[in-house]
Amino acid sequence: MRKVLGLALGILTAIGGFLDIGDLVTNAVVGSRFGLSLGWVVVVGVIGICVFAQMAGRVAAVSGRATFELIRERLGPRVAVLNLGASFLINLMTLTAEVGGVALAIQLITSVSYLLWVPFAAVAVWLVIWRVRFTIMENVAGLVGLCLIGFAVALFLLNPDWSDLGRQAVQGVSTGTEKVSTYWFYAVALFGAAMTPYEVFFFSSGAVEEGWTVKDLAQSRANVLVGFPLGGALSLAIAGCAAVVLLPQLIAVTALSQVMLPVAEAGGKILLAFIILGVVAATFGAALETTLSAGYTIAQFFGWPWGKFRPPAKAARFHLLMIVCLILGIGTLLTGVDPITVTEISVVFSAVALPLTYLPILIVANDPEYMGEHVNGRTLNGIALVYMVIILIASIAAIPLLIITGAGQ
Amino acid sequence: MRAWTWAAGLTLSVCLLEGCSQQAAATDDLIHALSESHSAIASSVLAIRLYAQHRSTRAATETVLGDMAGQIVDAERALEPVKIDSTQLQSDRDAALGAIHAGVAALLTSRDELQRHGTVGSAAGLESAGGQVDGVLGELRGSR
């Protein structure tokens, strides 16, 4: 009974923790401009993150070592430092976007400018990381984040023409009045939003934090293979709500506040309150994960003591790094830069940097010295190699598309 | 002589193409600013309607109006650097600026009304500005 409850909790947490500011914004932008014609990218992205997280979790559980320790060992310090630089910068950008997302969500409750909430949000993130146990932190954020199921409820309440939505989803490349290059730019952005590298740093380091062993592999697999696809379904619901309410009125989403309009239309104030609570939890949870990931990547690379399982005094550099990253995030946001712009750029750069972390994990997951009998099977390897190609294409195409389209304008 | 004629013809063609592409780029900028304005006005009208129907909260509605006011002001500013090199483009830009300016005024009025009194009397001003923006947008799209 305890095992079943643990499994259910893990899956629910994975669903609630799947969405972050990148998913919320990118799916709403895409839904309002392209309908569900980019829904296929969410499916491709979700399968990709399942493959990636499943391999990273298995490597961590079997070897007891997290992503960046292995990257440094496999690539050597010189090549790995490039990898570290790129991953750290993108993680920092994502952290900034998540803290901005928390502040924007609180603005929706209070109507006080988000800029005033940014320092409070960052301090709250630090306090939780400092004082709250890892499992409690992860489970509470994930479970409250489940309020985002309200987007699926909203889509049903809107009573859309399902056949029309289905047609949009299956017709593939359809740009309407938008340019083809803009369509592909958002395809890469959606892919990057679904496969953000910090999720994998956090997942694999979290496995070490929680002391996973080979015995926990089944639960890890269930969390990923059930939780993430259901989280992906919520991404589609966000795009669907925007497609039903905003697209016909030619409203292109540029702000988080617009994402709430279809929800209020469908379910009124109660559903709106649920969703705003879900957005606060999802962005706050992701801010915790990205802040921890910032500490994990650097500390693992340099071999410093890391982890929440150690008291802060015994992992001082790890904790100091996280504080510095939060201060950098606050500083960036207080310049007045739009958090939504930071989000859109961070998801595109996530796609750019993805091969840097995916390839080493793929190599280690195939190494019998590390993995013993738990190396990748043939089918998984086939899928993982196909994804390596997709990731490379998205990574190469991202920056040219960003320039050609003026960041999707 | 023949080579000179070819060179002159080629130069003239390049200049004409350059001129056309500059004009097209300027028209694209106008269309983009008008589309952004349309989106801001339509979002605001929707937010006000939902608030009037008690389906949304005051804070959420104020946030939408604040965000959209920022967006439409940015769209208006984006028209300032647009290069004008023909009377047609001048008149298009004037029409676009006029429509967007009406939108800015209507949106700021609605936002201030909501902040001060907690209600928005009517979205008629915004709807009328939206109609103006849509009219100019339709003409520009039709002329391409």
pLDDT of res. B18: 54
Mean pLDDT (chain A, rounded): 89
pLDDT above 60 for B17: no
pLDDT of res. A103: 97
Tokens representing A403? Answer: 């320039």
Please report residues of B whose CB lies closer than 8 A to that of A101: none
**Cβ A251–B63 below 8 Å, yes or no?**
no
Report for A9-18, A204-213, B32-41: range of highest mean pLDDT: B32-41
Taking residues A188-209, what's their average pLDDT? 85
pLDDT above 80 for A409: no
Tokens representing B91? Answer: 């008149």
- Lowest mean pLDDT segment, chosen from A63-67, A190-194, A303-307: A63-67
Q: Specify the number of domains making up chain A.
A: 1
- DSSP assignment letter at A12: H
ipTM of the complex: 0.88
pLDDT of res. B5: 72
Q: Is residue A182 part of a domain?
A: yes
Q: Is residue B91 part of a domain?
A: yes
Taking residues A201-226, what's their average pLDDT? 82
Q: Is A213 helix (H, G, I), strand (E, B) or coil?
A: coil
Distance of alpha carbon A284 from alpha carbon A24, whole angstroms: 13
Distance of alpha carbon A23 from alpha carbon A238, whole angstroms: 9
Q: Which residue has the higher pLDDT, A170 or B49?
A: B49
Domain ranges, residue A321: 21-405
Decide if A235 contacts A27 (C-beta within 8 A).
yes
CATH of the domain at A323: 1.20.1740.10
Place of tokens 């190599």: A363
> By CA distance, what is A276's nearest residue in B?
B60
Taking residues B94-120, what's their average pLDDT? 91
Q: Is residue B62 part of a domain?
A: yes
- The residue among B43, B45, B73, B126 with the most chain A CBs within 10 A of its CB, best to mutate, is B43
Q: Which residue has the higher pLDDT, A141 or B134?
A: B134
Q: Is residue B6 part of a domain?
A: no
Tokens representing A54? Answer: 């499943």
Decide if A164 contacts A4 (C-beta within 8 A).
no
CATH of the domain at B61: 1.20.120
Q: Is residue A280 part of a domain?
A: yes
Q: Is residue A255 part of a domain?
A: yes
**Confidence band (pLDDT; 50, 70, 90) for A11?**
confident
Q: Is residue A232 part of a domain?
A: yes
- DSSP assignment letter at A62: H
Q: Is residue B4 part of a domain?
A: no
Percent helix, strand and coil across chain A, each rounded to 5? 85, 0, 15
Rounded to a whole number, what is the largest CA-CA distance in chain B?
Answer: 79
Q: Which residue has the higher pLDDT, A122 or B82?
A: A122
Is the minimum CB–CB distance between A181 and chain B shorter than 8 Å? Answer: no
Q: Which of A239, A202, A210 lies closest to A45 in space, CA to CA?
A: A239
* pLDDT tens digits for range A105-162: 999 999 999 999 999 999 999 999 998 988 888 888 888 889 999 999 999 999 999 9
**Cβ A269–B59 below 8 Å, yes or no?**
no
Q: Is residue B101 part of a domain?
A: yes
* Alpha helices in B1-144, H assignment, sequence order: 2-52, 58-78, 87-117, 124-143
- The beta-carbon contacts of A77-83 under 8 Å, at least 24 apart in sequence, are A80/A301, A81/A301, A82/A356, A83/A356, A83/A357, A83/A360
* pLDDT tens digits for range A246-267: 999 999 999 999 999 999 999 9
Q: Specify the number of domains making up chain B.
A: 1
Chain center to CA of A375: 26
pLDDT of res. B27: 85
Decide if B76 contacts B100 (C-beta within 8 A).
yes
Is the minimum CB–CB distance between A276 and chain B shorter than 8 Å? Answer: yes
Q: Which residue has the higher pLDDT, A227 or A330?
A: A330
Distance of alpha carbon A30 from alpha carbon A52, whole angstroms: 24
For a pLDDT cut of 70, what percent of chain A falls above it? Answer: 97
> By CA distance, what is B47's nearest residue in A?
A261
Tokens representing A393? Answer: 């294409």
Q: Is A315 helix (H, G, I), strand (E, B) or coil?
A: helix
Q: Is residue B38 part of a domain?
A: yes
pLDDT above 70 for B16: no
Q: Is residue A88 part of a domain?
A: yes
Q: Which residue has the higher pLDDT, B97 or A5?
A: B97
pTM: 0.89
* pLDDT tens digits for range A14-53: 776 678 888 899 999 999 999 999 999 999 999 999 999 8
Measured CA distances, B16 to A21, B12, B21, B70 (Å): 47, 6, 9, 38
pLDDT of res. B117: 86
Write the DSSP assignment of A318-350 as a string of letters.
HHHHHHHHHHHHHHHHHTT--HHHHHHHHHHHH
pLDDT of res. A80: 84
Please report residues of A whose CB lies closer than 8 A to that of B35: 250, 252
Mean pLDDT (chain B, rounded): 86
Domain ranges, residue B109: 24-143
pLDDT of res. B14: 57
Distance of alpha carbon A128 from alpha carbon A144, whole angstroms: 15
pLDDT above 60 for B15: no
Chain center to CA of A144: 16
pLDDT above 60 for A231: yes
